[in-house]
Structure 1
């Protein structure tokens, strides 16, 4: 962080920051719908608590993005930039978010994160079955449901931990998840994800029912932290926790945990479905991708040994 930024933060009192935030809320309240307004207020509160201020500079915003690049999803950071921009424009201030520095920083973060996601190992069906085998206790019930639902729904970490009880609907053939705005649904139209009862002994729908029966909830977050004493908390599980659970279970079955992440569940569904001969449009129906472009890498790798040229001659 630059010295000028540090000096600014040291000279601005907490009372002034609260008053500054109040000004933002006043302008935003007049201009936006309540749901959008709430998101902007939350974003600005996070920026200010870190040490940001309005008016801001391209350097400060870029520093903020860089600090949180490994902590927040690119989509979340993009939304924060939009909120910071709105805080400026609502007061007729020149927005630093339009600068080349901020745009380049955000592009770089997206590219790096995308590369990391493409490099992680997918949790394939056989891996998944081994991972959930033998899980016991409160945490075991949660991890079993989380891994199976995360795989079957091809969910991103943020989507998985963001699931609310009101988002799920058990139907005759299994489970329907009503997913709101996501990375591939920026208009917030939402979509339905169907997870049918499994034919085998390991079933995502039944695993989720077992978990919900255990925690006895009728509202709030579906996946929650569990203390070492087995106490279930009321808050939602963090996205980092999803990655930790995947890594822990990968290590438990003898895999290299460093090659797996929360994205491995989503990548695993795509890869496993492609290996099973599922069409790309049916896979996209589950993942929410708008085109085959983002699926091609997984599908290409999944089919390396299908109709392989060497197999035909040796």
Structure 2
């Protein structure tokens, strides 16, 4: 009787499984918010094409130029540029390698240039908080544990220039205190989609009331959170 031979090599995946894996990785190449924006942009372009009895897939450079010219009255130039990218992505996904929405097409490129010259390219952002604003926020804080937490978040966020999502993603193991201050490890951010991470050093502040390091340690101590410095707290 012949003994059974068992291979330790992994079973090869079927072609269908490999295709599904590839689709999963392609979908993961963009952030969920970006994919959602692409879908919304494409739906708007499809709606416009139906209204004007023009095919959307595949479309033509002339139709795309008319579309962005129409939307220029309500959209920022940066959003219009993203619409072109969304239309290109939709055509590529459908197998049309020659997208009608690239600026290599003369009519599309010139229309976009005219839009930018007319409505500008500057993006309107929120006015930044200044140090006087931060002092007013800290002065108006609640005098309890939540108030200490809020103060720590505001001061650390301001000193490190962190986005809200970056603050929310910080864990205790990401804090390294020393005699000079604290080093915060930001593992992933909007500008770091590959997750390479970065370290931001926050020194002690000159003022006790607005020092991010002292505010952070005060909140962690009051909340009895002890593991924040990997067993080595200095200062």
TM-score norm. by structure 2 comes to 0.49
TM-score norm. by structure 1 comes to 0.40
Of structures 1 and 2, the one scoring higher in RCO (CA 8 A, sep 6+) is 1
